[in-house]
């Protein structure tokens, strides 16, 4: 699709200024951070808290518009209120796994608080990504834009894993190989294809396409 957009009936390679290329990089960093932050939060807090707090992007955008004095529709305000109420409920959630004394330890509580904060920071980062993506939709083909976002994101994630000391091998190991997703087991290549087609193509690309 990317080659077709560039070579066949598309706009060709995007003609962007150095500043605009920097904005594309910022959008890619924001997208990558949003995804990584959600994955990290899953290790610290409950699935429900991580999912809801990392999907409050619309609330963040509306709150930002309100703080900047921009007009906000009444229904948008109601939606923001409902979202904030859900965030409060999730943030006050407690771990489901108890100690032998059936008491929540201070460590687990602190981990959940940190996980909730990281989850919400994912929403803020996603808001930055979507705002930037909307700006570039007018000057760049959709699939070319998404290809650049994903390509930059792969490099950013690769360097992040190196800097944080993650176990990383250059083979097809199913757990830490960078080509491990090519394994034919049900939880690798088939799952990756599903994520690529449904979550990324229909979900992520569709979201950006709808903003036009």
One pLDDT digit (tens) per residue for the chain, 212 residues: 445 545 455 555 667 778 778 888 888 999 999 989 998 898 888 877 888 888 888 888 888 887 887 777 778 778 777 877 776 776 565 554 444 444 445 557 778 888 889 999 999 999 999 888 887 777 777 778 888 888 888 888 888 888 888 888 888 888 888 888 888 888 888 888 888 888 777 877 777 777 76
| 212/207 Cα distance (integer angstroms) | 9
| 142/38 Cα distance (integer angstroms) | 25
pTM of the shown model: 0.73
User: For residue 83, with 0-12 CB atoms within 10 Å meaning exposed, 13-18 middle and 19 or more buried, which class applies?
Assistant: buried
Backbone CA torsion sign across 118, 209, 141, 4: positive
| 125/127 Cα distance (integer angstroms) | 5
């Amino acid at each position: 699709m990317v080659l077709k957009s560039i070579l066949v009936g598309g706009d060709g390679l995007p003609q962007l200024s150095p500043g605009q290329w920097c904005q594309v990089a910022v959008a890619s960093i924001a997208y990558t951070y949003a995804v990584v932050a959600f994955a990290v939060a899953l290790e610290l807090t409950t699935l429900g808290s991580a999912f809801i707090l990392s999907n409050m992007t619309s609330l963040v955008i509306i709150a930002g518009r309100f703080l900047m004095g921009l007009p906000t529709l009444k229904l948008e305000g109601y939606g923001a209120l409902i979202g904030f109420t859900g965030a409060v409920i999730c943030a006050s959630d407690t771990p489901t796994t108890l100690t032998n004394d059936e008491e929540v330890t201070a460590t687990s509580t602190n981990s959940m608080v940190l996980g909730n904060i990281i989850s919400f920071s994912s929403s803020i980062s996603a808001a930055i990504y979507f705002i930037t993506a909307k700006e570039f939709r007018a000057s760049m083909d959709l699939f070319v834009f998404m290809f650049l976002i994903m390509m930059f994101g792969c490099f950013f994630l690769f360097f992040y894993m190196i800097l944080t000391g993650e176990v990383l091998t250059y083979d097809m190991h199913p757990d830490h190989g960078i080509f491990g997703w090519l394994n034919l087991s049900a939880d690798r290549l088939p799952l990756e294809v599903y994520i690529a087609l449904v979550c990324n193509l229909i979900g992520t690309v569709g979201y950006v396409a709808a903003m036009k």
